[in-house]
Chain A
Amino acid sequence: MEARQRMFRLLLLLYPPRFRREYGGEALRQLEADLLEANDSGRLRRFIEGSVVLLDFTLAGVLERFASLGSRSRPVSSPSRGGGLMSTMLQDVRFAVRGFLKRPGFTVVAVASLALGVGANTAIFSVANGVLFKPLPYDEPDRVVQLLGTIRGQLSRRHSWLAYPEIQDLREGTKALAQVSAVQWWDPILYGSGEPARIFGKGVSACFFEIFGAQPVVGRFFLPEEEELNHEPVVVLSYGLWQQRFGGDPGAVGQTLDLDGVRYTVVGVVPAGFVDPFGAEALIWRARPPEWDATRLARINHSWRAIGRLAEGVTLEQAQADVDRVWSIFRREHPESHSQDGARLIRAKEWLVGDVETAILILLGSVGLVLLIACANVANLFLTRTIVRGREISLRSALGASRGRIVRQLVSEVCLLFVIGGAIGLPVAWLGMNSLLALGAQDLPRLGEVGIDWVVLGFTLGISLLSGLIFGLAAALPAVRSDLAAALQMGGRSLLGDRKSQRVRAGLVVAEIALALLLLAGGGLLLRSLWILQRTDPGFQPENVLTLRVYPTAGSYTEPDEITSLYQDLTAQLASIPGVTVAGAINFLPMWAGQNCEFVWRDDLPLPTREEFAEYDGPTCLEVRVVTPDYFEAMGISVVRGRGFTENDDGGAPPVAVISAATADLGFRGEDPLGKRVTLYETRDYLPNVSRQVVGVVSNVRQTSLAAEGVPAIYFAHAQEPDPDRRRVMTLTMRAGRDLTDLAARARAAVWQVDDNITIDFVQPMTSVVSNTVAQPRFRTTLVLIFGAVALVLAMVGVAGVVGHAVSQRIPEIGIRIALGASDRNIYAAVMGHGIKLTVAGLLLGVGGALLSTKVLSSLLYGIPTNDPVSFVAASALLVAIALVAIWVPARRAVRVDPVKTLNAE
């Protein structure tokens, strides 16, 4: 809200002081009211209405300022005030304003392309600034580090979790880390007034908040004794939850909350701006729960994240060496658990934004190219204008104006244009930023920090002025350098600066085309990669599948059989909904939250020794999923061999397992897996190691995202699963014979018909689960394509301008040619040849540049190389086709030249 007010105040500065004094306050209030009114409508309407209101306010400001400048200016400056730098500058500005008003077409095109360029740059920069450049809001943020697990020295997100005993030993064993906290996701159901709701939270060590140097708003954070086992259950609330549940009442401290059936005492509240480095959605933190008992937890149970704070004056490298030293002790003392693993320290910010960094920087680069093209275009327009104004410039020069004075005049015109473009670009940026945030950037980390602040405003002003100066000089110099006397004689029509400036303008256009092709090629690569990604077979058929997650009430269904029959009832109830053909359930839905990788080994092979396991380079674990009998059918996962699960695979029957095709390939190369027995070696001592017979093989499923290959998986029958954590909270999946409208409400009703105390969330069609995994690629592809299109349009305006100007310069010549009998084709060839040469030069330059620079995209592409010929050819063809139109339009004027008229004019 504050940034918004600040921007409005800045916009008001466009208006002259007198207007601000008399009407400023009221106009601002009116602007707020206008925008508020627009807020009532739908998203698209709101966007359009908001844009209209803001543009109106900006334009009115510019016009008002022009009017006031115009009113005070006199054609001849009074001699008493002449001489001072300020007054010549003012004179320049007034002169420029009068010039702009006289040529509204030129002014509108130039200002509009600059506003677009500056606005888009500011919008993307505001995102980059918030997400990448701003330091994390911690005390000495560089001291906050993540500890990630490694396998064989390699870091991979999937295997980067640590075991609780490891974290505890690191805390005690390292000297370079002042604190180390274990972190585990915890999403309890909050009971109390209203419907029970699941809230996102974390379990953390008592020192967690000290790591960030955070101070509570009210109450306290966790005490050292709350790190001991069996302390009282205590929680710290996020600012948002405190406001929502307690209306911001400091008396919340000391009250209790019922979370999953346990009463937790609220001890404190974190400040509003606190950013949990593991995701901003956290609403609640509890101090070390009793389950975290290092003596009972295996050292290979990798289910925790760890975060720490470097001790005073310690570098990251020193801390890493210290961690490695402690890890070598682990290896000595627990050789069976630490044959391949290790830990790596990386700074919290790098971990938080590492994924999106490349994409944001590429967007920033692309949008920078758009601004470059816009600038080149304006310089081009200016150059044309300067040539046309040659006589005026020559005259002023002849009357004694110094070259410096003339250049200053021209440069200040360009600068003024850029500043106006920047000013109008600001609301464009604000709208752009908001639509970026609204349309697709939900998955960005640190979203709350994105906004228009002084750094962003400084950036806008900086790029406007800098590009104004550079391109202004480029546009002004050729005109002044050329032969003035000749120009004066020629009436400023043809020769003035033509050769030189023609070359500069041709150069600018070639550069524009090259840059536009660069963007188009990049956009083409991303588009093709996205297209391939979306056509990738996920291993199941998401169409017409609705999913919902259910949470049985805490304290109910404590017996294993009760949970089994609950899910039997739920799936039967869902399958009885008219239109639903089949319903199943799974503990972790593909492409949604959750992973559970466990060590599984064949019973007919001896367990690997430590040395063998250290050499072993296959998958060290299988993704374990627990499903009900109809799950495979409901999701459209095909059974490749053997069978799926049936109702008969219940608690009394011999335990069975179904494996994925990848597991069959890796574990049973060349053998028939059916009938073989496998055992999952549990990492928790209260669970038995169950041996199961493989009865079927199903097709591979992409478990994490469309882009990630299917990981080897193993499925267990829900009725046979001994671990309550794997079977209590499930996602129901149902396949409908028709589309899913109104099915969600019926499905909820069906669940509540079985048990109306069940909490339901994440009701969503499977298609949107899948499409969410490509939201980020889709988002950045859309942006790059938009930039590419804008770049193409701007470059084509440039080409058309150059060709059009050449045509108007050559009208007498063309007239003579026509008089001598040249056909339309000859004329087209003569006129268009120039434009085509420029296009081809730009094209070649652009393709070369693109081949070199699209390498930066490599990490964002899926299934194609960075020099994918299809994308390059398509981009070039599009550019050539549109360039031909852009050249043909002004060329048409040439064949319509009336030879008699032009010859008479000579």
Chain B
Amino acid sequence: MERPRSRTDVLAEVGTRVKTDKSQTVDDLLPLKPALYLILLALTEGDRHGYGLKKEIISRTDGRVKLGAGTLYRSIRQLVDLGLIEESSQRPDPALDDERRRYFRLTRFGRQVALAETERLADLVRIAQSSRLAG
């Protein structure tokens, strides 16, 4: 009997698929892991570097989500490999900038995935609201 796919399996695959299968669709990537989703959301406002992403997510979630350095850069690596985000060549005012830092921005595909995930979640919420739970 096939065991249900665990999160670890999914992670391993998400990490590898891009190399083996270039022609993936938005749906292949859903549901998106919360960390990945939050990073995509944080990038909708503009380009950010790693630390900026962390701070943006903390402020958006009122401090409930703090990504550790490991998870943060692992997620960034996955998103870059999946083609959802890319390194940005734009830099803010050099005076304000630490040149060792790398900035990231959302790709078009990334924006589509984020949108699709948002819709998927919204659907779930609608279903929940029509049940007795939210009443």
A residues with a Cβ closer than 8 A to B are 19, 22-23, 25-31, 33-34, 52-53, 56-61, 63-64, 66-68, 70-71, 101-102, 104
Contacts and interface: CB of A to CB of B under 8 A. Distances in A.
Given A64-B74, A64-B77, A101 B8 contact: yes
B16 A60 contact: no
Contacts of A104: 6, 8
Contact of A53 (B11, B16, B50, B68): B68
A26 B12 contact: no
7 pairs of A and B residues whose beta carbons are closest in the complex: A60-B70, A56-B68, A67-B15, A57-B70, A71-B16, A30-B69, A31-B69
A757 to B, nearest CB: 50
Contact of A60 (B8, B49, B54, B74): B74
A53 B9 CA distance: 23
A27 B70 contact: yes
B22 interface: no
A66 B12 contact: yes
B76 interface: yes
7 contacts: A19-B74, A26-B50, A27-B73, A56-B69, A60-B68, A60-B73, A70-B15
A58 B3 CA distance: 27
A779 to B, nearest CB: 31
Interface in B63-83: 68-74, 76-77
A70 B17 CA distance: 11
B111 interface: no
A29 to B, nearest CB: 8
Contacts of B19: 71
B100 interface: yes
Contact of A57 (B6, B12, B69): B69
Interface string B78-117: 0000000000000000000000111000000000000000
B12 A67 contact: yes
Contacts of A23: 73, 76-77
Contact of B12 (A53, A58, A101): A101
Contacts of A66: 12
B74 to A, nearest CB: 4
A31 B20 CA distance: 32
Main secondary structure of the interface of B (DSSP, over half): helix
Nearest to B20: A71
Interface string B7-44: 01101100110011000000000000000000000000
A408 B20 CA distance: 31
Given A56-B71, A60-B68, A26 B101 contact: yes
Contact of B69 (A34, A64, A71, A101): A34
A574 to B, nearest CB: 48
Given A70-B15, A71-B19, A26 B102 contact: yes
Contacts of A60: 68, 70-71, 73-74
Interface centre among A25, A57, A68 (most CB of B within 10 A): A57
A26 B80 CA distance: 15
B59 to A, nearest CB: 14
A112 B111 CA distance: 38
Contacts of A33: 51, 69
Contacts of A27: 50, 69-70, 72-73
Contacts of A29: 100
Contact of A19 (B9, B71, B77): B77
Contacts, number: 77
A635 B114 CA distance: 72
A19 B72 CA distance: 12
Contacts of B50: 26-27, 30
Contacts of B15: 64, 67-68, 70-71
Contacts of A61: 70
A53 B70 CA distance: 8
Nearest to B19: A71
B68 A34 contact: yes
Contact of A22 (B51, B69, B70, B77): B77
Contacts of A22: 77
Given A30-B73, A56-B68, A57-B69, 18 more contacts: A22-B77, A23-B73, A23-B76, A23-B77, A26-B102, A27-B72, A30-B72, A33-B69, A53-B68, A56-B69, A58-B70, A60-B68, A61-B70, A64-B15, A70-B12, A71-B15, A71-B19, A71-B20
A63 B77 CA distance: 12
Nearest to A52: B68
B77 to A, nearest CB: 6
A71 B12 CA distance: 8
Contacts of A68: 15
A854 B1 CA distance: 52
A491 to B, nearest CB: 15
B43 to A, nearest CB: 16
Contacts of A31: 68-70
A5 to B, nearest CB: 14
A71 B102 CA distance: 26
A61 B68 CA distance: 12
Contacts of B69: 27-28, 30-31, 33-34, 53, 56-57
Contacts of A56: 68-71
A863 B76 CA distance: 61
Contacts of A63: 8, 11, 74
Interface centre among B12, B70, B71, B74 (most CB of A within 10 A): B70
A34 B58 CA distance: 13
Interface centre among B8, B15, B50, B68 (most CB of A within 10 A): B68
A28 B69 CA distance: 8
A58 B68 CA distance: 10
Contacts of B8: 63, 101, 104
B16 A30 contact: no
Interface centre among B8, B71, B73 (most CB of A within 10 A): B73
A30 B100 CA distance: 12
B29 to A, nearest CB: 16
A67 B101 contact: no
Contacts of B70: 27, 31, 56-61
Nearest to B75: A60
Nearest to A35: B69
A30 B77 contact: no
Contacts of B102: 26
Given A25-B100, A67-B16, A68-B15, A57 B76 contact: no
A57 B68 contact: yes
A58 B11 CA distance: 16
Interface centre among B20, B50, B69 (most CB of A within 10 A): B69
A71 B101 CA distance: 28
Contacts of B16: 67, 70-71
Nearest to B98: A29
B47 to A, nearest CB: 15
Nearest to B78: A67
B41 to A, nearest CB: 19
A42 B91 CA distance: 37
A891 B100 CA distance: 60
Nearest to A8: B69
A33 B11 CA distance: 26
Nearest to A101: B8
Contacts of B49: 26
Nearest to B3: A102
Contacts of B74: 19, 60, 63-64
A67 B49 CA distance: 24
A23 B69 CA distance: 11
Contacts of A71: 15-16, 19-20
Contacts of B20: 71
Interface centre among A28, A58, A101 (most CB of B within 10 A): A101
A101 B9 contact: yes
A189 to B, nearest CB: 48
Contacts of A64: 15, 74, 77
A70 B9 CA distance: 10
A847 B77 CA distance: 54
Nearest to A69: B12
A70 B74 CA distance: 16
Contacts of B101: 26
